[in-house]
Chain A
């Protein structure tokens, strides 16, 4: 039969609007979280990170929010641009795990002109 690929959640946002990408992480022992952006034909690219002792961290046009109570992470992108179209992955590092990352499935962000 035909193979079925991963069904990535997709978020469509109008150019110029803000976007919020969500991620539920799995392990309460995770102490470090990273957001990556993967454009078509490229490797994942580091965007922003946050440690578990923080609730919020801001970068250029991006903000990451961490809610440890419900094990939820979000990436907010302000004033989206066409170049923001990509798949976004959250990754978590479990304390003491020798730097290995646990990767989320990814969210596809589409910017509409």
Chain B
């Protein structure tokens, strides 16, 4: 089975530009998580979807960040406008009952110049 697929793997952009990160969860998984990882803060949960519905977005840093899950096989995380402090590795993970083990994608390394 294919794991969680994220794209792009690397993104370099300039401050002020819009950035869209994409995630395809594992087929059959009904929960999807977006994380951000930095040296300063470690692994932070940004938002969590269950059955395509956002359940908890309290980790989204500010209004510049938005996430959608239009169907069970696709999610996006958008940053508009991007800022240098958004530079990080962004991970998507998915899980399903009963154990709800989260399986992670390879991540998108974002650099905002």
Q: Which residues of A contact B (CB under 8 A)?
A: 3-6, 32, 34, 42-46, 49, 89, 93, 98-101, 103, 105-106
List 29 A-B pairs, Cβ < 8 Å: A3-B40, A4-B40, A5-B38, A5-B39, A6-B39, A6-B42, A34-B101, A34-B102, A42-B106, A43-B91, A43-B93, A43-B104, A44-B91, A44-B93, A44-B104, A45-B104, A46-B102, A46-B103, A93-B100, A98-B55, A99-B48, A99-B95, A100-B33, A100-B45, A100-B56, A101-B45, A103-B43, A105-B42, A106-B43
- CB contacts (< 8 Å) of A49 on chain B: these are 99, 101
Extra contacts, 15 of them, besides A5-B38, A43-B105 (Cβ < 8 A), are A5-B39, A6-B42, A42-B107, A43-B4, A43-B93, A43-B107, A46-B102, A46-B103, A49-B99, A98-B50, A98-B56, A100-B45, A100-B48, A100-B56, A106-B43
Pair B48/A6 contact, Cβ less than 8 Å: no
Question: In the complex where A98-B48, A98-B55, A98-B56 touch, is A103 in contact with B42 (Cβ < 8 A)?
Answer: yes
- CB contacts (< 8 Å) of B95 on chain A: these are 99
- CB contacts (< 8 Å) of B4 on chain A: these are 43
B16 to nearest A CB, angstroms? 22
